[in-house]
């Protein structure tokens, strides 16, 4: 049993020490990605299946980079052209893969709870790469690492999560992770996109985005998940940008130390303007870089790795 247990399904049930363990382990893995030969043999001989039932570019590629840099063997499975389209169940798919002696499954699925459901039914380690509207733990972890890099701490930071909180698994994982590490958390967005009773989680609600910007040390800007919406959540994309968009004009009144995060993909000109996404407040590209290191740390820890991975003999 490692410090994380068998699986990583979400941050809700991790302790603060477990979250810190992942962030601390990610630090030395950052250096691997800066080498000329970006590889260590920490997971040599391990086989990892990336099982993606939803479209993904950023998360899937980040996991693939992490796996390859740890020298694992990887197999990518998507629903397109797979037996899932022929009616095979999630568990049957995973059990058939497990019969081929795999070690880990990284799963993204449109149904909340799918990752936990699978983890209870197979022996292999399971990592949740996003399940429905439930959680996306590795995204929240890379957000936490990016904040810690910039401010040197998480405790005491004021972080506002802005936009489509209702449909966002990223928001839920961020709320759990930030609160566990001592940050203050607020949400801001249209009333139709803020879950009822979210204050019970210990967060503040700002109906006006200007108030959230004035309060926050960091903004985590969520995209409008139009694919999960029926009509009626917002009058129009143009109206959403006018009232809730993170624009250069709004940030001109903010502290110069304010940072802006975005989990991607971005709807430029909707929840965030291009001159903000590419401007001095943005830490969006460092988030992407940190994503590989965080996922390397999670894979390594779930495989039973300890702090002495460098001593195992590295590839140069």
Among 136, 180, 281, 295, the one annotated catalytic? 136
Cis before residue 265, ω within 30 degrees of 0?
yes
Catalytic annotation, pick one of 57, 86, 253, 316: 86
Catalytic residue among 46, 59, 74, 109: 59
101 an active-site residue?
no
Contacts 24+ apart (CB under 8 A), 237-243: 237/267, 237/270, 240/190, 240/270, 240/271, 241/269, 241/270, 241/271, 241/273, 243/190, 243/209
Active site residue 208: no
Catalytic site residue from 108, 134, 167, 223: 108
- The DSSP letter of residue 224 is P
- Active site includes 86? yes
H helices of the chain, where? 16-32, 58-69, 90-98, 114-119, 137-151, 169-180, 209-215, 237-244, 248-251, 274-277, 284-302
Annotated catalytic residue: which of 20, 58, 68, 158?
A: 58
Is residue 59 among the annotated active site residues? Answer: yes
H helix or E strand, kind and range, residue 205: strand 204-206
Residue 108 among the catalytic residues: yes
Question: Active-site residue numbers?
Answer: 58-59, 86, 108, 136
């Amino acid at each position: 049993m490692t410090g994380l247990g068998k699986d990583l399904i979400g941050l809700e049930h991790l302790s603060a020490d477990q979250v810190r363990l992942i962030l601390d382990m990610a630090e030395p893995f950052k250096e691997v990605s800066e080498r000329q030969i970006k590889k260590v043999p920490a997971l040599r001989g391990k086989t990892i299946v990336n099982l993606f039932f939803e479209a993904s570019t950023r998360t899937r590629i980040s996991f693939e980079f992490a796996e390859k840099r740890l020298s694992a063997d990887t197999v990518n499975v998507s629903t397109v052209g797979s037996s899932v389209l022929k009616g095979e169940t999630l568990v049957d798919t995973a059990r058939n893969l497990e019969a081929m002696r795999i070690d880990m499954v990284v799963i993204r699925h449109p149904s909340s709870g799918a990752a936990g459901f699978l983890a209870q039914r197979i022996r292999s380690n399971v990592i949740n790469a996003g399940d429905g509207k439930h959680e996306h733990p590795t995204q929240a972890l890379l957000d936490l690492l990016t904040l810690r890099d910039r401010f040197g701490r998480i405790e005491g930071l004021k972080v506002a999560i802005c936009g489509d909180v209702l449909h966002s698994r990223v928001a839920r994982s961020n709320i759990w992770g930030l609160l566990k590490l001592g940050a203050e958390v607020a949400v801001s967005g249209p009333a139709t996109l803020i879950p009822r009773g979210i204050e019970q989680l210990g967060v503040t609600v700002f109906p006006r985005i200007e108030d959230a910007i004035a309060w926050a040390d960091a903004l985590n800007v969520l995209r409008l998940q139009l694919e999960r919406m029926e009509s009626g959540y917002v009058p129009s994309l143009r109206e959403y940008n006018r009232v809730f968009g993170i624009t250069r004009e709004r940030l001109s009144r903010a502290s110069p130390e304010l940072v802006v995060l975005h989990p991607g993909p971005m709807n430029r000109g909707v929840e965030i303007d291009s001159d903000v996404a590419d401007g001095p407040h943005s830490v969006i590209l460092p988030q992407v870089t940190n994503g590989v290191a965080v996922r390397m740390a999670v894979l390594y820890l779930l495989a039973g790795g300890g702090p002495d991975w460098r001593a195992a003999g590295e590839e140069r």
